Structure 1
Amino acid sequence: MLTQDQIDAFDKHGYVMLPDLFSPEELAAMDAEILRLKQLDHPQRLLEVESNLVRAIYGLETSSEVLERLTRDPRVATPAQQVLRSKVYLYQTQVSPKMAFRSAAWEWHQDFMYWCREDGMPTPNAVSIAIHLDDVTEFNGPLYIVAGSHTWDLEQVTAQQGDGWEGSARSGDKYKISDESLSQLIDESKLVSVKAPRGTAVIFHSGLLHCSPPNLSPRDRTVLFVRYNAVDNALRPVPEPRPEWLAPRHNMAISPSESTFLSSASH
């Protein structure tokens, strides 16, 4: 559960960090499941455009009981309820692995821009919780964020560059913010490189402007994302909805578990 100071920091900056949220045993359990899912050939596993490297795996909860329980862990689900001031439902899960020396960038974007245009999300009252499964340094593809940018409306300066959901999920550049606008916005705010040890979680608003550079280091970097939407922010109909494992059309509230995700396995 977040303190009031943490909630205030989220409201002001669009993100807050939670160090040492998970134990070594819990992290090892997540690692094992992600390694298994990376080796499966299924539609939810997307490869990078110019390589056979895994760029992202979505819908983790549909293929892993361990990761499904993680989405209801009170250390994850309860903070989402707090910052959104709402009951929440599970909107999306994703793992983003960046291999040493090889993995590509994710361009500057607001998640809400995709979720609004692709899925029909009415407002940005949604949140991501990024769990660091490796030590994240300035060299291995950390999250870059613009503090306070969750309040910015970038609709008019974001142009569409292609069609279809799969290409955008593999390249991450379907909706591009103009370079001129980016330069001006970043100059007017504070650019932050989110570096933190394995086991840290970062909660950030769906409107927060962010990106991640290529991994140019000799160390892998994997981040697991659990994303929630407010139940009263249900998706509107769209002409070509994305797959359910990428953007579910229901808004069924979840209840945080009474115990942590590994403890609940024995109950």
Structure 2
Amino acid sequence: MTATIDTTTDVFPTRLSAPGEMIERRQPTVWGTADDGPFDAPALEAHATRGFTILEDFITSEEVAGYTAELDRLATDSSLAGDPRVITEQASGEVRSVFEVTALSRAIDALSRDPRLLDRARQLLGSEVYLHQSRVNYMPGYKGTGFYWHSDFETWHAEDGMPAPRAVSCSIALTPNFPYNGGLMVMPGSHRTYVPCVGETPENYHEASLKEQRIGVPSEDAITDMAHRYGVEQFTGPAGSALWFDCNIMHGSGNNITPFPRSNIFLVFNSVENALTDPYAAPAPRPDHIGNRDVTPLRPLS
């Protein structure tokens, strides 16, 4: 499916001076068909309804071990000290995330182009795709802090200039996701509702928000309404599981106060027909390592 996306009219206003009305989304969640890729028709229908899909055993145990070694290497690489792509925990100073990881790891770059991912991303978005963002996330035992409820699309729209919710994220677990070690929580079906947020975006806000986001998060009243309307489910499963989720689904995670760490590879695929424009609610675009502006379609490595 191809469609012209209007970039001149902001149909998803946010970062307002006062709370705004929730907006029911008109754009599809699934843009392709069962003939376009690995997901069959029932799987696509379920994804469109719920806004996410969990695939266990998405990568092998050998692959998990290899990517875990890459995460360990990146977290201890002294040449990355002070690199803006490395985000540390506000309290402990431990590595929280490493952005633009496909430029730092050949193995993860190859994974982003693997047909297991690329074919599903193309199918869900109904077009060629590129990587809007890539990163690895660390949530160490006892010290890992979570993220408050939010929609990724709200941030990408406001601060990166993503016109429409035609992007999908794939989170691949490299450790077991238990109900108690800070796993991701989602509100099934909430991707159909866009929640405007209150508060003007400060200059260079990404320098603070990637550690703790305070602007670009819904009000407690909005979260309460959404939670009662949609309920809350959690991404649990063994290492090697993959969570595919729509860019506008409401999600968040709690702190990890257990001894069991949690880490994952996080890849965001955006349609090449949904290229970034100027930010809709920020003084300037975030750096390219956070919001990639090169829409060259991803191709498998030969």
Aligned length, in residue pairs:
257
Bigger share in strand: 1
The answer to whether 1:148 aligns with 2:192 is no
Consecutive unaligned residues of structure 2, counting only runs of 5 or more, are 1-37
TM score, norm. by length of structure 2: 0.82
TM score, norm. by length of structure 1: 0.92
Per the TM alignment, residue 160 of structure 1 is displaced from its structure 2 partner at its CA by 4.8
Aligned match of 1:254: 298
Aligned match of 1:224: 265
Q: CA RMSD in A?
A: 1.5
Aligned match of 2:112: 71
CA distance in 2, matches of 1:197, 1:173: 31
Q: Give deviations 1:205-263, integer Å, cap 9, x for gaps.
A: 00000001001211011121011100000000245222211111121111345xxxxxx
Between the aligned residues of both structures, percent identity stands at 30
CA distance in 2, matches of 1:254, 1:131: 19
Q: Is the 8 A contact 2:130 2:298 kept in 1?
A: yes
CA distance in 1, matches of 2:40, 2:199: 38
SS at match of 1:176: coil
Q: Is the 8 A contact 1:160 1:176 kept in 2?
A: no
Q: Is the 8 A contact 2:195 2:222 kept in 1?
A: no
- Which residue of the other structure, out of 19, 29, 45, is the alignment partner of 2:66? 29
Aligned match of 2:134: 93
Q: Give deviations 1:32-71, integer Å, cap 9, x for gaps.
A: 1111111132221111222212111110011111111111
CA distance in 2, matches of 1:160, 1:111: 17
Amino acid at match of 1:246: I
Aligned match of 1:185: 226
The answer to whether 1:195 aligns with 2:233 is no
Q: Is the 8 A contact 1:88 1:230 kept in 2?
A: yes
Alignment of 1:1-267 (within 5 A): 1-40=38-77, 41=81, 42-155=83-196, 157-160=197-200, 162-163=202-203, 164-238=205-279, 239-256=283-300
Per the TM alignment, residue 201 of structure 1 is displaced from its structure 2 partner at its CA by 0.3
CA distance in 1, matches of 2:290, 2:98: 10
Q: Is the 8 A contact 2:92 2:143 kept in 1?
A: no
CA distance in 1, matches of 2:150, 2:200: 12
CA distance in 2, matches of 1:74, 1:160: 40
Moved over 6 A (4+): none
